[in-house]
Structure 1
Amino acid sequence: MVRIKFNPYGREIEVPDGENLLEAVRKAGIFMDTPCNGSGACGKCKVRVISGNIISMSSKNITETEKKNGYVLACQSIIKGNAVVEIPETESSSMHGMKIEDFSSSREKDIFNDSRERMLKSGMKFGTYVKKEYLELDPPTLDDNISDFERLKRHVKKQLNYNSVFCRLPILKKIPKLLRKADFKITITHIPRGKEKTTIINIEEGDKTKELYGAAVDIGTTSVAACLVDLYNGELIAKASSGNAQMKYGADVINRIIYSTKGSGLEELNHAVIQETINPLLSKMYMDSGISRDQVVSFVAAGNTTMSHLFLGVYPNFLRMEPYIPAFVKTPFIKASELDIEVNPETFIYLVPSVASYVGGDISSGVLSSGIWNSEENILFIDLGTNGEIVFGNSEYLMTCACSAGPAFEGGEISCGMRASGGAVEKVSIDSSYEPTLKVIGQEKPLGICGSGIIDLICEMMFAGIIDRKGKIVRDLDTNRIRFDEHGIGEYILAFKEQCDLERDISITEVDIDNFIRAKAAIYSGITTLLKDLSMDFTDIDKIYIAGGIGNSLDIGNAVKIGMLPDIDQNKIHYIGNSSLMGCYLTLMSEDARRKLEEIANSMTYVELSVEPEYMDEFVSACFLPHTDIDKFPTVKRCFNKSV
C-alpha cells in the first residue's frame, strides 16, 4: 500500500501500489469532471505531480511545457509510491450554483404562468391527493387507557369517517413523545385509500394544516434542478441546482452505462445522483425555507431514460445495445425510504414515464408543460441538453426522435467548455481586429465557456473570417489570438491567462469546433429527417420551442446562422426554459396533469434515426457552417454576401 496526498484539499488516503490516479481521486471523495470517463480523450483530469513516483502515459492533451512542470492526466497515470498531487482549479466549482432556468426571473414566471393557465383552460384541476387534518385527542386516563395508536385511530375514524387507519414504523416511533409534547393536539398528514381507508405518514405538533409541501426534480445528465412547492397554493418555497455528481463517471449516458457494468459501478452511479446530488439539494432547500424533510410528502422527478434507470439503480446496459430495450418506461409508485431520498420516508416517488431508450421522462414532462398536446398548430420542440431530443406535432399526433448530439451544448467535449455556472462565458462578440468581448456569468473572471457562448463564438469567428465554413482556422491573420500547435491544430484565444490570473488560456480549438459542428448537425439533421417522415418541411412549422440546459442567453439568430436551427421566421422560435422541471411541477400539483402526462408518453411515436436511410446523408450535409447547401439558409447567405 502507498499513501497519496491531494492538495489543496489536504486529503490523504492509502491505496494499493499500482492504483490508477483518477480512481484514487475518486476514492478521496474529490469531484473531478471526466467527460470521457478515463479514456484519455478529453484531457480534463489534468493534475500536477508535486512529488513521488507516478508513472504516466504520454498524451496529446499535455503540452511539453506542462509535462516539464509535472502535469499528467490522472486517468493515464499509475501510482507506484507515496506521492503528493495538486489538483488545479477545475469545474468542481461548477457542481453547485449552476445557472439553471427556473421560475424566479420575470421571463420564467411568464413561462410558468402560461403553462399553468393552459392546464386550467384545458379543464384540469389542481390539488393534491395528500391530506392534512388537525385533531384534538382525549388524553389517556386510568379509565381510558388504550394505546396511543389506538387512541389516534379512534379519533381519525370518528372525526374523519375512515373505517381503517394504518401507519408504519416511523410514525409509531414518533407517537409517544410527540403526543404528550403537543398536549394531544396534533396535525396528521395522511393518504386516503378510497373513502374508507387512510394511511398516516406524518404527525406534527399543533395546527399545521396550512403547511403541505412537495418537491419537483429534473435529473439531467449534466445538471440537476429542484424546487420546493407549497401544495396548497402552488407557490415556490425554495429552489436549488447543481451539476450531476455522476459527471465524474463520464459526460454522456453511454460512458455512464458502460461504467455501471463494472464492479460496483451501478451502485456508485446511484449513490452519486441521490446521495451526492439530490439529497444535498433538498437539504439546501430545507435550510433556506425552514421546512423539515418530514413535511415534504410528494415527490416528482423526470430524467432521460438512462438517468431514470440509474436513479432507481436498475441495470441499464441493454439501452445501448441493439435493439435498445429499456428495463422499464413506467414505474410503480416507489417509497422514498426505498431510495434513501431525504423527504418523508412514506412519500411516494413518482418518476415521469419515458417513451423509448433515448427519449425519456424529461421529454414527456417538457411536452406536458409546453402545451403541444393541446395545440392546433404544428410545434417543433427541441431539448438542447446533454442529449438532443426532438418532438414534432400537435393535439392530433406527436412524433419524436433522439439525436446523438453529445454533451457539447453544455460544454462537454470542448477543451475549455463548462456548464452555465459562475465564470462561464455565455455571450461573445468579435470586432474587426479579431478582439473578443465576453459576457461572463456572475461577472466573475472567465473560467471556461458554456453552450450559448460557444454558439456565439463560432458564429462570430465565421463572420469575422477567423474560420472557414468547415470550421478550420484561417492562417496568416494579423492577431496574437490565433496560434497553431506542433501538430498544426489551430486555436483561438478568448482570454489570456496572464490578464485574467488563470492557470491556462481560455481558448477554442479546431477539434472543439469540429465537435460542436457535429453536435449542431445532429440537431438539424434530426429535425429534417423527422419532418421528411411526415412528408413535411420547414414551411409546415408554426412554432419552435427550445428547452434545456443551453440557457436563457441563447442567441436564436446565431443558432440559425451556424446551421443548428432551420432558417425560418425567427419570431416563430421561442426559448421556454426548463420545461422538464415545469412539467414535474405541474404533475406535483395536479392528478389530472399526471394522467395527461402518462397519456402523452403512451401516445408519442418514436423514430429511431439510426435505421433511417436518409439520416446519415442529412447529417454529413449539415457538418458545415451553416450547411453544404447554403441555399437552405437564405438569410445567412445574404449576411455572407454583405460581409464580402
Structure 2
Amino acid sequence: MVKIKFIPYNREIEVPKGENLLEAVRKAGIFMDTPCNGSGACGKCKVKKINGNIVSKNSRYITEEEEKDGYILACQSIIEADSTVEVPETESSSMHGMKIEDFSGNREKDIFQSSKKRMLESGMKFGTYVKKEYLEMDPPTLDDNISDFERLKRHIRKQLNYSSVFCRLPILRKIPKLLRKANFKITITHIPRGNEKTTIINVEEGDKTRELYGAAVDIGTTSVAACLVNLYNGELMARASSGNAQIKYGADVINRIIYSTKGSGLQELNYAVIQETINPLLDKMYRDSGISRDQVVSFVAAGNTTMSHLFLGVYPNFLRMEPYIPAFVKTPFIKASELDIEVNPETFIYLVPCVASYVGGDISSGVLSSGMWNSEENVLFIDLGTNGEIVFGNSEYLMTCACSAGPAFEGGEISCGMRASGGAVEKVSIDGNYEPTLGVIGNEKPLGICGSGIIDLICEMMFAGIIDRKGKIVKGLDTNRIRFDEHGIGEYILAFKDQYNLERNIGITEVDIDSFIRAKAAIYSGITTLLNNLSMDFTDIDRIYIAGGIGNSLNIDNAVKIGMLPDIDQSKIHYIGNSSLMGCYLTLMSEDARHKLEQIANSMTYVELSVEPKYMDEFVSACFLPHTDIDKFPTVKKCFNKSV
C-alpha cells in the first residue's frame, strides 16, 4: 500500500501500489470532471504532482511548459510510491453553478404557461389521485379501548366510506404519539383504490388539507432540474438544479454504461444520481419552501433510457450492444423507500416510460409538453443535450430517432470546452481583424467555452475566413491568434492567458472543430433520415421545437449557417425550454396527462439509424460547413456570395 495526499483538500488515503491516480481521486471523495471517463481523450483531469513517484503517459493535452511544472493527466498516471498531488479546485466544483433550464426565467415561465394552456384546451383535466382528509376522532376511553389503528380505520369507514383501509409499518410507528399530540384531530393523506379501498401514506397533526405537494425531476445526462409543486393549484413552490454527479464517471451514456459493468460501478452511478444529486436538490427545495419531506407524496421523473436504468440501479450494458435491448421501457410503480429518495417513503415513484434504447422518457415527456401529439401541423422536435434525440410528426403519427452527437454540445471532447456555468463563453463574434468579442456567463472572466459559444465561434471563423468549409484553419493570416503545433494542427486563440490572468490560453483546435462538425452532422443527418423514411423533405416541416439546455443561448441563425439545422424560414423555429421537466410537471398534476404520456410512448415509431442504409451517406455529406451540397442551404450560399 502507498499513501496519496491531495491538496488543497488535505485528504490522504491509502491505495494499492500501481493504483490509477484518477481512481484514487474518486476514492478520496474529490469530484473531478472526466467527460471521457479516463480514456485520456478529453484532458480534463489535469492535476499537478508535488512530490512522490507517479508514472504518467505523455499526452497532447499537457504542454512542454506544463510538463516541466509537474502537470499530468490523472487518468493516465499510476501511483508507485507515497505522493502528493494538487487537484485544481475549479475542477472539483465544475458541476455547480451550471446554467440549467428549469422554469425560473421569464421566457421559461411563458413557455410553462403556454404548455399548461395547451393541455387545458385539449380537454385534459388537472387533479391528483392522492387525497387529503381532515378527521376528528373520538379519544379512547376504558369503555372504547380499541387499538389506535382500528380507531383510525373506524373513523375513515364512518366519515369517508372506505370499507378497507391499509397502511405500512412507517405509519404504524408514527400514529401513537402523533394522535395524542394532535388530540386526535389529524389529517390523513391516502391513495384510494376504487370506491372501497384506500391506503394511508401519511398522518399529520391538525388540519393540513390545503397542503399537498409533489416533486418533478428531469434527470439529464449532464444536469438535473427539479421543482416542488402544490398539487391542488399547480403553484411552483421551489426550484433547484445542478450538474448530474455522474459526470465524474464520463460525459456521455456510453462511458457510464461501460463504467457500470466494472466492480461496484453500477452502485456508484446509482448513488451519484440519487444521493449526490437528486436528494440534495430536494433538500434545498425543502429549505427554500418550508415544506417537509413527508408532505411530498407524489414524484415524477424522466430521463433518457440509460439514465432511467441507472436511476433504478438496473444493469444497462445491453443498451449499447446490438440489437440494443433495454431491460425495460416502462416500470411498475416503485416506492420511494426502495430507492432512498428523500420524499415521503410511501410515495409512489413514477418514471416516465421510454421508447427504445436511445430514446427515453425525457423525450416522451418533451413530446407531451410540446403539444405536437395534438397538432395538425408537421412538427419537428429536437432535444439538444448530451444526446441528440429527434421526433417528427403530428396528431396522427410520431416517428423518432437518436443521433450519436456525443458530448460536444455540452463542451465535452473540446479542449477548452466546459458546461454552461459561470465563466463559460456562450456568445462570440469576430471582426475583420480576426479579433473576437466574447459573451461570458455571469460576466466573469472566460474559463472555457460551452456549446452555444462553440456554434457561434465556428460560424464566425467560417465567415471571417479563418477556417475553410472543412473546418481547417487557413494558413498565412495576419493575426497572432492563429498558431500551429509541431504536428501541423492549427488553433485559434479566443482568450490569451496573460490578458485574463489564466493558467492557459483558451482556444479551439482543428481537432475540436472536427469533433463539433461531427456532432452537428449527426443532428442534421438524423433529421434528413427521419424525413426520408416518410418520403418527406424540409418543405414539409411546419414548425421546429428546440429543447434542451443549449437552446437558451442558441443563435438559431448561426446554427443554420454551420449546417446543424435545416435552412428553412427561421420564424418556424421555436425554443421550448426544458420540455422534459415540463412534461413531468404536467404528469404530476394530471391523471389525464399521465394516460396521454403512456399513449405517446407506445405510439412512437423508433428508427435505428445505425441500420439505416443511407444514414452514413447523409452523415458524411453533413460533415462539412454547412454541407457538401451548398444548394441545400440557399440563404447561407447567399451569405458566402456576399462575403466574396
1:574, distance to aligned residue in structure 2 (A)? 0.6
State the AA in 1 paired with 2:299: F
How far did 1:91 drift? 4.3
Kindly provide the CA deviation profile for residues 558-599 of structure 1, in whole angstroms up to 9, marking residues without a partner as x.
000000000000000011111011000100000000000010
Q: Deviations over 1:457-486 (max 9, x none)?
A: 111111111111111111222222212222
Check if 1:252 corresponds to 2:246. no
TM-score using structure 1 length: 0.99
Whether the 8 Å contact between 1:392 and 1:399 is mirrored in structure 2 is: yes
| CA deviation string 1:488-547 (max 9, x = no partner) | 211111122222222222111111110000000000011111111111100000001110
Provide the residue aligned with 2:319 in structure 1: 319
Quote the residue 2:157 is aligned against.
Answer: 157
> 1 CA distance for matches of 2:151 and 2:441?
57
Q: Does 1:137 align with 2:153?
A: no
Deviation at 1:150, TM superposition (A): 1.6
Instruction: Find the residue that maps to 1:284 and give its secondary structure.
Output: helix
Q: What is residue 441 of structure 1 aligned with on the other side? A: 441
What is residue 180 of structure 2 aligned with on the other side?
A: 180
Using the alignment, how far apart are the partners of 1:115 and 1:477 within structure 2?
A: 50
Question: Which residue matches 1:117?
Answer: 117
Partner residue of 1:242? 242
Which string of whole-angstrom CA distances, capped at 9 and with x for unpartnered residues, describes residues 208-241 of structure 1? 1111111111111111111111111111111111
CA distance, structure 2, for counterparts of residue 180 and residue 448 of structure 1: 60
Residue 100 of structure 1 and its aligned partner are, at CA, apart by: 1.5
Q: Which moved more, 1:278-287 or 1:516-525?
A: 278-287
Q: Please say if residues 31 and 92 of structure 2, whose CA atoms lie closer than 8 Å, have aligned partners that are also in contact.
A: yes
Partner residue in 1 for 2:212: 212
1:622 matched residue in structure 2 = 622
| Equivalent residue number for residue 65 of structure 2 | 65
2:262 corresponds in structure 1 to 262
Post-superposition shift, 1:346?
0.5
Q: Aligned with 2:125: secondary structure?
A: coil
Tell me the alpha carbon deviations over residues 412-443 of structure 1, each in whole angstroms, 9 at most, x when there is no partner: 11111111112211111111111111111111
**What is the CA-CA distance between 1:89 and the residue it aligns to?**
4.0
**Code of the aligned partner of 1:353:** P
Question: Deviation per CA, 1:164-219, whole angstroms, max 9, x where unpaired?
Answer: 11111111111122122222221111111111111111111111111111111111
What is the letter of the counterpart of residue 234 of structure 2? G
Larger displacement relative to structure 2 (148-157 or 187-196): 148-157
Counterparts of 1:327-346 in structure 2 under 5 Å?
327-346=327-346
Contact 2:33 2:94 in 1 (8 A): no
Uncovered stretches (5+) of structure 2, i.e. residues with no partner: none
TM-score of the aligned structures, taking structure 2 as reference length: 0.99
Say whether 1:222 aligns with 2:193.
no
- Say what the alpha-carbon RMSD is for the aligned residues: 1.0
Match of 1:513 in 2: 513
Q: In the TM superposition, what is the alpha-carbon distance from 1:8 to its structure 2 partner?
A: 1.5
Structure 1 CA distance, aligned partners of 2:518 and 2:337?
A: 43
**Which of 91-100 and 50-59 deviates more?**
91-100
SS at 2:356's partner residue?
A: coil
| Distance (Å, rounded) in 2 between the aligned partners of 1:537 and 1:457 | 29
Name the CA distance, whole Å, in 2 between partners of 1:154 and 1:2: 66
Q: What corresponds to 1:470 in structure 2?
A: 470
Could you say which residue in structure 2 is the equivalent of 1:279?
Answer: 279
| Whole-angstrom CA distance in 1 between matches of 2:480 and 2:208 | 66
Stretch moving more, 387-396 or 437-446:
437-446
**Is 2:503 the partner of 1:503?**
yes
Partner residue, 2:482: 482
Contact 2:257 2:306 in 1 (8 A): yes
Structure 2 counterpart of 1:193, which letter?
A: R
Could you list the per-position Cα deviations for residues 244-267 of structure 1 after superposition, in whole angstroms to 9, with x for gaps in the alignment?
111111111111111111111111
Is this contact kept in 2: 1:94–1:242, CA < 8 A?
Answer: no
Q: Which moved more, 1:345-354 or 1:55-64?
A: 55-64
Cα shift at 1:134: 1.2
**Structure 1 residues 148, 241: CA separation in 2 closer, same or farther (over 3 Å shift)?**
same
Determine if contact 2:102/2:241 at 8 Å carries over to the other structure. Answer: no
Q: Secondary structure at the match of 2:550?
A: coil
Contact 2:31 2:93 in 1 (8 A): no
Mapped to 2, the partners of 1:83 and 1:289 lie a distance apart of 46
Q: Distance in 1 between matches of 2:420 and 2:230?
A: 28
Q: Quick one: distance in 2 between partners of 1:106 and 1:474?
A: 42
Between the two proteins, what is the percent identity of the paired residues? 89
Q: How far apart, CA to CA, are the structure 2 residues paired with 1:94 and 1:233?
A: 36
The separation in 2 between residues aligned to 1:174 and 1:405, in whole angstroms, is: 50
Contact in 2 for aligned 1:99/1:551 (Cα 8 Å) = no
Kept in 2, the 8 Å contact 1:101–1:551? The answer is: no
* Paired residue type of 2:280: P
In the aligned structure 2, how far is the partner of 1:92 from the partner of 1:560?
35
Does the 8 Å contact 1:35/1:251 carry over to 2? yes
- State whether structure 2 residue 582 is matched by structure 1 residue 559: no
Mapped contact 1:185–1:205 kept (Cα < 8 A): yes
- In the other structure, the counterpart of 1:169 is 169
Matched letter for residue 142 of structure 1: L
Pairing of 1:503-582 with structure 2 (within 5 A)? 503-582=503-582
Contact 2:257–2:317 (CA under 8 A) maintained in structure 1: yes
Q: Does 1:42 align with 2:42?
A: yes
> Residue 350 of structure 2 aligns with which residue?
350
AA matched with 1:190: H
**SS in structure 1 of the partner of residue 80 of structure 2:** strand
Of 27-36 and 515-524, deviating more is 27-36
Aligned AA for 1:447?
L
Q: Distance in 2 between matches of 1:414 and 1:376?
A: 40
Letter in 2 for 1:260: S
Q: How many residue pairs align between the two structures?
A: 644
Contact 1:94 1:422 in 2 (8 A): no
Q: Which amino acid aligns with 1:588?
A: L
Output the CA distance in 2 between the equivalents of 1:174 and 1:446: 53
AA in 2 matched with 1:552: N
Counterpart Cα distance in 1 of 2:613 and 2:307 = 29
Mapped partners of 1:135, 1:576: distance in 2 = 44
Kept in 2, the 8 Å contact 1:420–1:551? The answer is no
Matched residue type, 1:310: L
Q: Which residue of 1 aligns with 2:203?
A: 203
Unaligned runs of 5+ in 1: none
8 Å CA contact 2:411–2:419 kept in 1: the answer is yes
Q: Residues 384 and 551 of structure 2 are in contact (CA less than 8 Å); yes or no, is this contact kept in structure 1?
A: no
Deviation at 1:400, TM superposition (A): 0.5
Give me the whole-angstrom Cα distance separating, in 1, the residues matched to 2:424 and 2:182.
51
Q: Residue 49 of structure 1 aligns to a residue in which SS?
A: strand
Describe how 1:98-109 pairs up with structure 2 within 5 A.
98-109=98-109
**In structure 2, C-alpha distance between the alignment counterparts of 1:94 and 1:289, rounded to whole Å:** 26
Distance 1:200 1:481 in 2: 67
Alpha-carbon contact 2:417-2:449 (below 8 Å) kept:
yes
- Once structures 1 and 2 are overlaid, which stretch shifts more, 627-636 or 102-111? 102-111
Q: 2-side partners of 1:256 and 1:240: how far apart? A: 24
Q: Indicate the SS of the match to 1:81.
A: coil
What corresponds to 2:289 in structure 1? Answer: 289
- Distance in 1 (CA, whole Å) between partners of 2:292 and 2:486 is 58
Runs of 4+ off more than 4 Å = none
Aligned equivalent of 2:602? 602
Task: Letter of the 1:562 partner, please give it.
Answer: I
Contact 1:91/1:418 (<8 A) preserved: no
Q: Find the aligned partners of 2:494 and 2:152 in 1 and give their Cα distance.
A: 67
Deviation digits for residues 101-126 of structure 1 (CA, Å, limit 9, x no counterpart): 22222211111111111111111100
Q: Which residue of 2 aligns with 1:189?
A: 189
Q: Aligned partners of 1:91, 1:548: CA distance in 2, in Å?
A: 24
Q: Which residue of 2 aligns with 1:233?
A: 233
